Amino acid sequence: MEIGKLIRDAKVVLIGAGAGMSAAAGIDYTDAERFRQLFPVMYRRGFRNNYQLMGYQGLSEAITWGYHAMHVQNVAYDHQQATVYQQLFSLVKDKEYFVITSNVDTMFAKNGFDTGRIFTPQGNYKLMQCMHPCSDETYDTRPILDRLLAHLDPLTHEITDPAVIPRCPRCGGDMFMNVRGGKWFIEKPYEQQRARFQAWIHQHLHTPMVIMDMGTGFNTPGVIRWPMEQITYHNPSAYLLRFNRDHPEVPAEIAARSHQIKGNISEMLAMLS
């Protein structure tokens, strides 16, 4: 079945996006060369990519928050419009669509997708929270980031003033970005998103639907990859398109209503759009 025609004819489209989608836009947590360019000091300390620093506890607060400040600035604020996201948007903008993504970089919202049709169950770098947590409150990352970057040593990339290290306004405890890293993750900002997503899925449970699985791997397959397969399985009128550079495989149970598209996501979307 011709992929372009499937998408063009579809009235309802579900997009499930993982790390591969943002990697196609230049936000690749495994790219050692890009890491060396952005974080030369961390590279000299022996780190080779962003994944190695996720949850790493062996550095001082000054070094840790110097890295976080630069990383979040780059991912959440410096990266704005990206061709691969705009290509995808051009394919679905006039359709009944919904997006669920494990990416916390807000790239869908920054590239024209309706924020009322986006569910980000893994969180959002533009929010911060208490690590305890002492409440369900979250805080705007931008002013916190501005204070950190204003006290970033240009040579060592350490935070020079301990007073700007983020502390919870309520209890004074440690803070972190509002992303799913443990039981401390605050779900409240995503409750309405989840409710809208679930309502949308139930509404279209028996509706002809194209499901576009974009770059979902096996780091957290239970968030996007497996649900896309389950929705396809339970909706006999659904067709799954899995775009994936390394792992486009689909289960045998839905193989007849699926298409495995192995390759560069950006190149594939460029041809379709």
What pLDDT, in 10s, does the model give residues 51-108? Answer: 999 999 999 999 999 999 999 999 999 999 999 999 999 999 999 999 999 999 999 9
If you classify domain 29-78+123-179 with CATH, what class do you get?
alpha beta
- Other CB atoms within 10 Å distance of the CB of residue 81: 11
- Other CB atoms within 10 Å distance of the CB of residue 161: 12
Superfamily of domain 1-27+83-122+190-273: TPP-binding domain (3.40.50.1220)
Burial class (CB in 10 A: 0-12, 13-18, 19+), 97: buried
Alpha helices in 73-136 (DSSP H): 83-92, 107-110
> Quick one: average pLDDT of 22-46?
97
Distance (Å, rounded) from C-alpha 23 to C-alpha 102? Answer: 13
For 192-236, the DSSP string reads: HHHHHHHHHHHHTTTS-EEEEEES--SSSTTTTHHHHHHHHHH-T
Q: What are phi and psi of 2, to 5 degrees?
A: -75, 125
What pLDDT, in 10s, does the model give residues 94-114? Answer: 999 999 999 999 999 999 999
Q: Does residue 270 have a pLDDT over 80? A: yes
Which pLDDT does position 4 carry in this prediction? Answer: 94
Q: Does residue 210 have a pLDDT over 90? A: yes
Which pLDDT does position 124 carry in this prediction? Answer: 98
- DSSP label at 26? T
Which pLDDT does position 273 carry in this prediction? Answer: 79
Please tell me if the domain spanning 1-27+83-122+190-273 has the same topology as the one spanning 29-78+123-179: no
The proportion of the chain whose per-residue pLDDT surpasses 90, expressed as a percent, equals 99
Q: Does residue 43 have a pLDDT over 60? A: yes
Q: What six digits make up the tokens of 191? A: 């409750």
Domain segments of the chain as ranges:
1-27+83-122+190-273, 29-78+123-179
Q: Which candidate, 14, 65, 25, places its Cα nearest to that of 238? A: 14
> Quick one: average pLDDT of 197-204?
98
What pLDDT, in 10s, does the model give residues 140-172? Answer: 999 999 999 999 999 999 999 999 999 999 999
Q: Does residue 189 have a pLDDT over 80? A: yes
What pLDDT, in 10s, does the model give residues 121-131? Answer: 999 999 999 99
Distance (Å, rounded) from C-alpha 113 to C-alpha 204? Answer: 20
**b vs e for 98-130, b when ≥16 Cβ sit within 10 Å of the residue's Cβ?**
bbbbbbbbbbbbebebeeebbbbbbbbbbbbbb
Q: What are phi and psi of 83, to 5 degrees?
A: -55, -45
Please answer whether residues 204 and 236 qualify as being in contact, where contact means their C-beta atoms are separated by less than 8 angstroms.
no
Please answer whether residues 163 and 201 qualify as being in contact, where contact means their C-beta atoms are separated by less than 8 angstroms.
no
Quick one: pLDDT band at residue 9, thresholds 50, 70, 90?
very high
Q: Does residue 1 have a pLDDT over 90? A: no
